[in-house]
């Protein structure tokens, strides 16, 4: 099971299975972060609501630094991005990573004018930011708890991973989306591709023990979710 293909499936689930959240003051906070990167142009929106602006046109106008295009971007995506982030983070951290995602998009606007999937880029950027935030939290939590995974548990995890590889990829992606946070998803995707804990640790900039702990936790969640799914079939 290829990690990149599984990530694509996870992004697809994240973008279509996330309820939009009220953004409240988040629009103002995002605006404060991105204002230095925008040309504060007069409102040049065409008649109609900002949310109807085609993604390619939106990216092209963002590349010109149009404030109206930024307003449209936030109106179209901020609520869903916030809903996605709040699945894994507390409200304050969720708002922080959503703000950071919009800053990344605005900074890269000139490169995105021809991007085929602006929504996909936003969700992928958000995913990386969530993983980074969770990685920091995981380091603190596991370091203080001093949790270790026994060799017998790791061997059992490898057996479980081999069984999970036989499942339909979309079924695995749906279960991962529903029960695992993005850091657990990353670890599990790499594990299902056959990477050892030491390799996963190197790729995600965590310790090998952290990789084993997260892998063990993700496998337990995923195995339970898939077993429930089979019972419902």
For 88-131, how does the pLDDT look when each residue is reduced to its tens digit (9 = 90+)?
A: 999 999 999 999 999 898 888 877 776 657 888 889 999 999 99
Phi-psi region of 41 (alpha: psi -120 to 50; beta: other; left: phi over 0): beta
The reported pLDDT for the residue numbered 31 is 82
Block residue for tokens 């892998």: 215
Quick one: pLDDT at residue 162?
A: 65
Structure tokens at 71: 């307003």
User: Across the chain, what does the average pLDDT equal?
Assistant: 78
- Phi then psi for residue 118, to 5 deg, are -65, -40
List all residues 6 or more positions away from 205 whose beta carbon is below 8 Å from its beta carbon: 135
Model confidence over 160-219: pLDDT tens digits? 666 666 677 788 888 888 888 999 989 988 888 888 888 999 998 888 888 888 888 888
Q: Are residues 92 and 139 in contact, defined by beta-carbon separation less than 8 angstroms?
A: no
Is pLDDT at 46 greater than 50 in this prediction?
A: no
Q: For the chain, give percent helix, strand, coil, nearest 5.
A: 75, 0, 25
Can you say whether the dihedral through the CA atoms of 132, 133, 135, 140 is positive or negative? positive
**pTM for the full model?**
0.75
């Amino acid at each position: 099971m290829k990690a990149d293909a599984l990530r694509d499936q996870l992004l697809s689930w994240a973008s279509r299975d996330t309820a939009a959240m009220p953004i409240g003051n988040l629009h103002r906070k995002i605006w404060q972060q991105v204002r230095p990167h925008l040309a504060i142009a007069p409102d040049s929106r065409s008649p109609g609501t900002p949310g109807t602006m085609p993604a390619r046109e939106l990216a092209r106008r963002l590349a010109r630094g149009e404030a109206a295009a930024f307003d449209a971007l936030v109106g179209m995506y901020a609520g869903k991005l916030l809903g996605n982030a709040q699945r894994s983070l507390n409200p304050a951290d969720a708002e922080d990573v959503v703000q950071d995602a919009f800053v990344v998009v605005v900074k890269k606007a000139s490169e995105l004018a021809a991007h085929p999937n602006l929504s996909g880029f936003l969700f992928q950027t958000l995913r990386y930011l969530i993983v980074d935030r969770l990685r920091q939290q995981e380091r603190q939590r596991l370091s203080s708890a001093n949790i270790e995974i026994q060799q017998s548990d790791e061997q059992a995890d490898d057996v479980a991973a081999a069984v999970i590889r036989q499942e339909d990829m979309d079924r695995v992606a749906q279960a991962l989306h529903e029960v695992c946070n993005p850091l657990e998803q990353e670890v599990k995707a790499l594990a299902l591709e056959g990477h050892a804990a030491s390799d996963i640790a190197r790729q995600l900039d965590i310790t090998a023990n952290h990789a084993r702990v997260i892998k063990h936790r993700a496998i337990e969640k995923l195995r339970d979710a898939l077993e429930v799914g089979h019972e419902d079939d």
